[in-house]
Amino acid sequence: MLHFECECGNKTAFFATGHMDERRIESLDMEDDDAVSYIISEDRITLKCGFCGKRYVLKNYENL
């Protein structure tokens, strides 16, 4: 569903759980909890590679 691949070669995926909320937004879960960690804050999501520690950021530009 969503794939994460770090430049160190670490790869993992987020898969759809089948659980929908009342807005019909489906939850994602991580394939491997150790491969990547993430921190959600008000204006961004920071992803951290569990192997090499490199961090990536997804910024929030508009509210969905």
Distance CA(32)–CA(43), nearest Å, equals: 25
45 part of the interface to Zn ion, by CB under 5 A = no
Q: Indicate the residue among 10 and 46 with the shorter CB distance to Zn ion.
A: 10
Residue in 14, 38, 51, 56 binding Zn ion, rule: CB under 5 A: 51
Q: How far is the CB of 24 from Zn ion (least distance, A)?
A: 34
Subset of residues 12 to 41 that bind Zn ion, contact rule: CB under 5 A: none
Q: Indicate the residue among 44 and 54 with the shorter CB distance to Zn ion.
A: 54
Q: Which amino acid is at 12?
A: T
- Structural tokens at position 46: 């920071």
Q: Residue 33 CB: number of other CB atoms within 10 A?
A: 10
In sequence order, what are the beta bridge partners of 4? 12
